[in-house]
Every structure is written in C-alpha cells, then in structure tokens.
Chain A
C-alpha cells in the first residue's frame, strides 16, 4: 500500500532554534518528493522538490534530504522564526501513473518567542 508517514505529529520549539521533521514513504515506483508549508487557512506552498538522484536541496533556511534506498526524507529548519509556525507536508509523486500524488498528514510546527 502506498503511504506517506510523517513525524512528529506536532512540535513546539523556541524562536531561533533548529528542528528536523521526518517523512517515511512506501510509494512505489518513486518519482519525486516534495515538502510543502501550509499556513493555517491557506493552501500549501512548495518548499523543495527532489528526485531519486538528489540527496540534499536547500531553500533559504530550509534544507531537505532524501535517502531513496531507505525511503526516508527529512526537512531541517535552521534558526526558526515565528513565521515558520505552520503545517509541513511531505508529498510523494508516484512514477508511471500520470500524476498521482500521496500526501502525509503533516507536522504541525509552533515556534514560540
């Protein structure tokens, strides 16, 4: 069964601290993996996208890693800001099926001053 699981479900950190969010998937065949940020009441916004051959990709303070062998990805946020408070969603695209995407349930991050 194609699934995407994220951990932790929720996380509270102090402003300025770093954090790492995890994503494990069983989607096969694999095409690419995306991390989205979803602010409350808004649609998801793409942070990074990685294909099979990419191990690391950065977007400002966000760094995503991908281990296609173990089917794991992480999103590292450096020097967190209050505006980072949001839900972070891992999405895996399945290859050879047109455009089938599988979504994780997200990690709810709260950054407190």
Chain B
C-alpha cells in the first residue's frame, strides 16, 4: 500500500506563472488536507477536502489559490499568478473515511515551490 504521493517534489516558477501541485492519497483514503510550511515556521492548515467537496477552506488565501479533489484522480492545489511569498513547502495529508478521534493523517513528502 503506497503512501501519500505528491508531485512534483520540486517546482520552480517565475512570478506571474501558475503552479499546480498534485496529491494522491493513500488507497482507501477519502479525506485530503493541504498545508503550507514557510521556512523556519510550522505547518499551516490551508484546506480540507473530501471527494468532490471542499469541507473547510478557512486557511486558504481568498485570491489566487484553489483546490479540488475530483471523483477520479489526484487532489490538485492550484496557485495562480505566483508571487515570491508563495515560496514554501506544501504538504498533503490523507486520512481514511470517518472522523473518529484516532483518525490519523498520513503525510506526503511535500512539494517545494520556489518562485523566482
């Protein structure tokens, strides 16, 4: 059972370009979370999705950022018109169905976005 997969692992974009980050959850997991980690800072929650639904996007910037988790395929975090401040590590985590207390999140290796 493969773990959470993220690609690309490293992404370089120039200011104004679009960045697309992909996350394939563990098999059987229907919950996906996206986090951003700035250098020397902790992970910050961005968005929580279930298949075809955004459950909580309270941590997502209102502009330029969007996320989706289609019925088929990986979850996508899309950043339009990137700026230097978007440079960070973006982590995806997945968890199985249900919201029990021991519902653990499994993290992917992250995508490191560098905006030139």
Interface stretch, picked from B14-22, B60-68, B80-88, B100-108, is B100-108
CB neighbours (8 Å) of A31 from chain B are 101
Bound Cα distance from A57 to B56, whole angstroms: 30
Q: Do residues A99 and B56 form an inter-chain contact, with CB atoms below 8 A?
A: yes
Bound Cα distance from A51 to B104, whole angstroms: 12
23 A–B contact pairs at CB < 8 A?
A4-B42, A31-B101, A34-B104, A41-B109, A43-B107, A43-B108, A43-B110, A49-B101, A49-B104, A89-B42, A89-B43, A93-B101, A98-B48, A98-B99, A99-B33, A99-B55, A100-B48, A101-B45, A101-B105, A103-B42, A104-B42, A105-B41, A105-B42
Bound Cα distance from A51 to B42, whole angstroms: 22
Q: Do residues B42 and A43 form an inter-chain contact, with CB atoms below 8 A?
A: no
Min CB–CB distance B50 → chain A (angstroms): 10
Q: Do residues A43 and B56 form an inter-chain contact, with CB atoms below 8 A?
A: no
**Interface check A46, CB cutoff 8 A:** yes
Bound Cα distance from A4 to B42, whole angstroms: 10
Q: What is the chain A residue whose CB lies nearest that of B3?
A: A43
B residues sitting closer than 8 Å to A (CB atoms) are 4, 31, 33, 35, 41-45, 48, 55-56, 58, 91, 93, 95, 99, 101-110
Other contacts beyond A43-B110, A98-B55: 4, CB < 8 A: A43-B93, A43-B107, A99-B48, A106-B42
Interface size on A, residues (CB 8 A): 25
A residues sitting closer than 8 Å to B (CB atoms) are 4, 31-32, 34, 36, 41-46, 49, 51, 89, 93, 97-106
Given that A42-B110, A43-B109 are known contacts, is A100 also in contact with B43, CB under 8 Å in the complex? no
Q: Do residues A103 and B107 form an inter-chain contact, with CB atoms below 8 A?
A: no
Q: Do residues A51 and B109 form an inter-chain contact, with CB atoms below 8 A?
A: no
CB neighbours (8 Å) of B45 from chain A are 100-103
Q: Do residues B109 and A103 form an inter-chain contact, with CB atoms below 8 A?
A: no
Q: Do residues A45 and B107 form an inter-chain contact, with CB atoms below 8 A?
A: yes
Bound Cα distance from A50 to B63, whole angstroms: 36
Min CB–CB distance B115 → chain A (angstroms): 19
